[in-house]
Structure 1
Amino acid sequence: MKYATYEHAAERRVGEVRGDVLVPLDGITEIGVDTPTDVLANATRLESRAVAVADVRILPVVPNPTKILCVGLNYKDHIAETGRDTPTYPVMFAKYASNLLGATDDIALPPESSAVDYEGELAVVIGRGGRRIAELDALDHVLGFAAANDITMRDFQYKTHQWIQGKAWDASTPVGPYVVTPDEIDLGACGIRTIVNGTTVQDSDLSQLLFTVENLVATISTFTRLEPGDIILTGTPGGVGFRKEPKLLLQPGDDVRVEIDNIGTVSNAVVVEKA
Structure 2
Amino acid sequence: MNLWEILPTAQQIAAAPIASHVAFVGFFGAVGLVADTACRLMGITRRETKIILVSSTTAYLHAIPMCIASYGLLSAKGWTWTGPWGGIDFTAPNSPQEIAAIVFCQSFMIYDTLSMWLQSSTEYLYQIHHVGVLIHMSLCLYVGRGGLSICLCALLGEMTNPVQNTWIIACALYDDYKASHRLRKLLTLATLFELSVARFFYIPLALIAVFCRAMLISPPQEAVDGIPLAVRGLWCFIPVAVVAGSALFVRGLLGDKGYWDEAEAGKAKKE
TM range (shorter): under 0.3
Q: Which has the higher helix share?
A: 2
Higher Rg of the two aligned structures: 2
Structure number with higher relative contact order (C-alpha < 8 Å, ≥ 6 residues apart)? 1
Q: TM-score, normalised by structure 2?
A: 0.27
